[in-house]
Each structure stands twice: as C-alpha cells, then as structure tokens.
Amino acid sequence: MKLILLGLIVLIGVHAVVAGKCSIRGIPDDAVCKDRSGCRYPLICNAQGICSQYKKHGDSCQSSEECGDYHSEMSCVGGQCALEGIFNDQCNSSAPCKPGLVCNSMSICVFENDQCSSSSQCPFGKYCDGQSCQSTKSAGDSCDNSEQCSCQNTCVDSKCVPKWATKSNQGCTSSEECNIFSGATCDGLNHVCRPSNRIGESCYVDGDCQGGTCLCDGSKTVCYGPNTTMPQSVDNCKEQYQAFTTCMEDKQCTRVNPITCHECFKLKECYEGSCFAKFNLDPHRSTYYKKLSCPTILKSVDTKPGSNNNDNEVQRENGELGNEQSSSSATLLNVSVLSIISFLLCIF
C-alpha cells in the first residue's frame, strides 16, 4: 500500500514541477565543453575544451565535427575540411565527391556504378529513383513517397498533393495535409483535419496538446502546434517557404548549403525560426535564430502562443547546461509534495 501511494504522489509531484514556471538556459560563445552538445549552435567543442567556430574549407582536421558537418555539410577527408561533391559537381583532389560517387577524367562527380543509391547524391529539386536523378514531381503526379514530390507537396495515397492545404473537417491521411500552422492535425481515428483548441494553454506533456507539442516558452510550459509550429497564418509560412525555394531556383543552387548558397540557406533558416518554436526555444539554437537578420516578411514572430512577444533573456548558471529549469514557485510546490509524502508514509 505504501509503495502504491508513494508512486502516485511522486507522479503528482513530478507533474507539478514540470507544469511550473521554467526558463531557457542559453550558452555563451566561449563556454567550457566536453563535446558539441555543450556548445551553442553552430559552434564546436575544440581540442582545448572551449566552444569555438568550426574550421574552414581546406583547414586541417581530425573529425568531420571540427568542420561543422551538421551545419556546413563539410567532412574531414584526408585530414582536411572539404565539401564533398554531389552528382555533376566539379571535383579534384581537394574537393572530393560524396560516397557513392567518383571524380571522373573530366573532374566531374559521377555515380560510382553508373546509378545513384540515395537522393542526397542528387541536386536540389531531384530525387534518386534507384538508377538516376529525376526531377521531383508536381501536385497530381503519382508517387511512392514524399521524397519524390516537390518541396511544396507531400505524397498521400500514391499522389503528390499540396502541403498544409486541407481545411478543418476535411479528409486526410497525414498531418502534412492539414494547416499545421493553425494547430490542425490529422485525426487518426476519423481521418479528418482537426484544429486544436489547446494552443497557448498550459500543459504537462505533449499528450495534453491534442496533437501539438508541450514546450517551455521561457517562463512556463505551454502547447504549440504539431512539430512545434507557432500559431500564425499558414499563408505566411507558405510565403516564406516559397521565398526559399524560389531563391534556390533563381540562384541555380544545387544544394541547401551555407557555403555554396548562403543567401538561400539563410532564407531557409529564417523560415524555420519564424514558423517552428523548436528552433527559437532550443537552448542550443535560440540565440542563433533570434539574431538572424531576415527580410521583412520573414521576421521571427512571437514564440509565445496567445501572448505578446517578450524578449526572454537566456541564462547560464555555474557553467551547467539545462533545457528547462523549474521556477521557485514550482520548487516550493515540490517541497510541499515531499512533506505530504513523509506525512502519509508515517500514517500508513
């Protein structure tokens, strides 16, 4: 009996703490670190155990992380940071090709066995069909998966359909069809797009958000939309995403990369920071995304659903990293719960 009672009360206590006030702890540029997880994005943990900028193309290296592979896509090849080429890229001894491709006599990256094995080997707007790189498909075209559809579409029932276009109470099989930026998700039971009335409400866990995500917004835990989407007009996010894809086409960029296509890569990051709370609220990424200089229509919006924007200061204490921190009120509540536990255990 004691164990059952103890378990129930501890769960209540944990629930109370998580639902209390919280804060997002940021990370200084020169933080002491053991690995990249202790650094602010997109910094690395250098050999001296200090967060620093990743190395440049051609610099000596011992690992791909030193080259910022998670941001720059550069790898450590032959002891040097290099951006490995995709299909049809130019190549040489200091600019090698991605795995599965080889540099031919014309200094062009071609498929090693005359056929592709992954869409990552293909230029932007193309996908690998197992043989060669093919142009992605438009709305209405047949498809096997969303990778085959253009950026503005997703594959549903073997057909490319527009993303985020299905209205509430209309049929769906994937949440990507629904207006996720208004908090709508695809009801798996009835297969219709359902708007959530929990956006901006307090929460304990994701399950409290009707298909949305429970996040610390800098002061408390509240519900955001599916995939941490922030409540706003879906047209706004479509407009931002369209600006990015148009840039890629106009600049004839073959890959989304900060080195080869800086301007378009920046538009993609602006879209991410404006439409998805996970980029603004992630303690590793928050400072980076809030400092982005974006075009007027791509300015970051309020990351607190249902409230005015407050510029939350990110904090760091004693060099320790924490995603969320309970406030003093939540701590007091937790102390009270522990007192109750001790009292009840004495009774039983």
Q: Residue 323: its pLDDT value, please?
A: 35
User: Do 237 and 275 touch, CB atoms closer than 8 A?
Assistant: yes
Nearest C-alpha neighbor of 81 from the set 97, 108, 63: 63
Using only C-alpha atoms, the chain has a radius of gyration, in whole angstroms, of 24
How far, in Å, are 71, 224, 243, 267, 300 from residue 270 at the CA level? 15, 19, 10, 5, 7
For the record, the structure tokens of 295 come out as 């075009």
Phi, psi of 177 (to 5 degrees): -75, -30
Q: Any idea which residue has 């922030």 for tokens?
A: 230
Q: How far apart are CA 49 and CA 55, in angstroms?
A: 15
Q: How far apart are CA 193 and CA 159, in angstroms?
A: 18
- DSSP one-letter string for 74-121: -EEETTEEE--B-TT-B-BTTBPBPTTEEE-TTSBEEETTSS-S-GGG
How far, in Å, are 131, 243, 257 from residue 250 at the CA level? 27, 10, 15
Q: Residue 234: its pLDDT value, please?
A: 63
Q: How far apart are CA 287 and CA 292, in angstroms?
A: 9
What b/e sequence results for 34-51 when a residue is b if at least 16 CB atoms lie within 10 Å of its CB, and e otherwise?
Answer: eebebbbbbbbbeeeeeb
Digits of tens for pLDDT over the chain (348 positions)? Answer: 444 444 443 333 333 334 557 777 767 888 899 988 889 999 999 888 999 999 998 999 988 989 998 899 999 998 999 999 999 999 998 889 999 999 999 999 999 989 999 999 999 999 999 999 999 999 999 999 999 999 989 999 999 999 988 888 899 988 889 988 888 888 888 999 988 888 889 998 999 988 889 999 888 899 998 889 987 656 788 889 999 999 999 999 999 999 999 999 999 999 999 899 988 888 888 888 888 888 765 444 444 554 433 333 223 223 333 333 333 333 333 333 333 333 333 334
Q: How far apart are CA 310 and CA 327, in angstroms?
A: 18
How far, in Å, are 7, 223, 276, 281 from residue 220 at the CA level? 25, 10, 18, 12
